[in-house]
Chain A
Amino acid sequence: MSGGPLFSFAISGERVEFVATGPWIAAHAEALELLVSDVTSKAPAARSAAVNLSGIEQLDTLGAWLLERVIRVCKERGQETVVVGLSPRFCSLFDTVHELNRDPPASHAKPNRLIAVLEGVGRATADLRVDLLAFLDMFGAISMAILRVLSRPRSFRLTSAVHHLYRVGWQAVPIIALITFLIGGIIAQQGIFHFRKFGADAYVVDMVGILVLREIGVLIVSIMVAGRSGSAYTAELGSMKMREEIDALRTMGFDPVEVLILPRVLALIIALPILAFLGSMAALYGGGLVAWLYGGMSPDIFLARLREAISVTHFEVGMIKAPFMALVIGIVACSEGLRVKGSAESLGLQTTTSVVKSIFLVIVLDGVFAIFFASIGM
């Protein structure tokens, strides 16, 4: 086994001769690249150049390309270049490499950083419009599907809807109940702790009752559902899109919105109010428990104060919001799912986008409802 590859030059009169010996293969890639750039930059200008390859023992594409690079550099310097001593067994490889990389690389001029930032802002703004259109498109498609189903009720996928209702509703009950129970307890504890300073700890019942029924119950449940079921919808539809299942459905004459999306969104619209109700009850229960154990308020008193503090209006405000939250989550999850492209990365990206976007929209919607209910005096 001989040593590593060698590359050197010698000058004889008007001619510079490069000599390459040893194994010019990928195993020595790092050394070879240094050697070649070092020697070619040091070589002086001369009328003509010769590349002597008689000492090459092994040659692969990488080695051949590096030699070809030397030859091209010499030719660019205006030197007449000849190759001598190439072993016949490397001839075809050398000829092949000679033909490669002939097109000049497309000039990727580095853009100005400020312009790049501005471009990013511009593109993001333009994308907003696309996002909005995708949302409206999905909303329209679902509305059309509902109209079609209403005209032909038998075409509704009841089995599928029940299956999804089971998944997003029934199976979500334990975790939703647990989380809202804890949140209710925490609100009560914080309220008692701070209200006690000015002797107002009895008002903790008002705070827990109103906060939970109007806002926290439905909001926490919506965020949980967006993270739990919205992401699942996006991932399911996205992988169906990737495997061309949705195209297959379409070619068989089925509308993917009617078959896949409508049952999912309807299941969500039915499940979310139920979950929000259960969640609110769990939160009130948690609040009452903490008020009893931590604040020393007996359950009877808690219930009596609760009855005074809240009215059915508060409960209605919370419940009215729930189906709209569900609709937003469902539309975002499904439209993001259909925007998945071929790659695994895009599936992950759209799932993340779906969750982030639906949580954002749920909170915005909650704000809009707050303004609306305030202005109609509810």
Chain B
Amino acid sequence: MDASAAPTAIQVRDLVVGFGQRTVLDHLSLDVHRGEILGLVGASGGGKSVLLRTIIGLIPKREGSIKIMGMELDQAMLQGTQAIGRRWGILFQQGALFSSLTARQNVQFPMRENLGISESLLDELATAKLEMVGLSRDDGDKFPSELSGGMTKRVALARALALDPEIVFLDEPTSGLDPISAGDFDALIRTLHQTLGLTVFMVTHDLDSLHTVCDRVAALADGKIVAVGPMTNLLASTHPWVKSYFHGDRARVRAPSAN
């Protein structure tokens, strides 16, 4: 728990992950520092989501080690996923809200299972979390099928933050949102990161998010991290894939405003 004991929030070393004959991640290493927002970019189908899902223990790895908060992931999993589940929150791409529960019940679910607090405090906290992500008290009574795409992501974020985790994993948080909503969501992540002192690991394709939100960006190509550092470093990278990613047609449109 001590902050000085583990300067890196997530440490990935020589990670190999594959399915059948295919190797998706090939001796990949990556560090995520405490309290930073790290953005992960990579080609579609290039293994970004696989990396994220391996770090959170949904996909088994073949080789290598993953340490979260200085704790070996394998051991943490052996001790039971609940202990580690309290220390991270995950925003899935489609929200993954429980469709039979209201938004408020979705946020309350992890708290109810883990905290052992009274019903009235649960209600207050859930409303507080919903308000923190920019929703109103009344939105809490809606079911996931009644929420818009942006609201679904916000509720999912509130649920990810329910237990005040140290690390938050975001899988394409702004995909499927209009540019204004996406911008608002980016600002929200930035604010929550500052207020709650979160470490954020974010998979994204959104160049604006990378520019405005991320402290550091890691680029994944050919199963390895080929470049990592602040955005300026990546823009200066000579790796062919990184070059085409940040200097392609779509990137050039926004480049003048970024600089």
Contact = CB atoms under 8 A, between A and B. Distances in A.
Nearest to B124: A101
A160 B86 CA distance: 50
Interface in B1-36: 1-2
Interface in A267-319: none
Contacts of A100: 127-128, 131-132
Interface in B114-150: 114-118, 121, 123-125, 127-129, 131-132, 136-138, 143-146
Given A61-B164, A97-B128, A33 B117 contact: yes
Contacts of A233: none
B164 A26 contact: yes
On chain B, which size bracket covers the interface? 20 to 34
Contacts of A65: 124-125, 128
Interface in B44-63: none
Nearest to A36: B121
A60 B196 contact: yes
A300 B194 CA distance: 92
A219 B114 CA distance: 52
Nearest to B116: A30
Interface stretch (A129-137, A187-195, A341-349, A357-365): A341-349
A101 B117 contact: no
Contact of A96 (B132, B137, B143): B132
A201 to B, nearest CB: 56
Contacts of A344: 99-100
A319 B163 CA distance: 63
Interface string A58-95: 00111001100100000000000000000001001100
Contacts of A93: 195-196
Contacts, number: 76
B127 A342 contact: no
A106 interface: yes
Contact of B143 (A26, A60, A106, A342): A342
B99 A342 contact: yes
Nearest to B137: A103
A53 interface: no
A321 B111 CA distance: 56
Contacts of B123: 105
6 smallest A-B Cβ distances: which pairs?
A: A342-B145, A343-B99, A60-B164, A345-B100, A29-B115, A30-B116
13 contacts: A26-B111, A26-B164, A29-B111, A29-B117, A60-B164, A60-B196, A89-B197, A100-B128, A100-B131, A101-B127, A105-B137, A342-B99, A344-B100
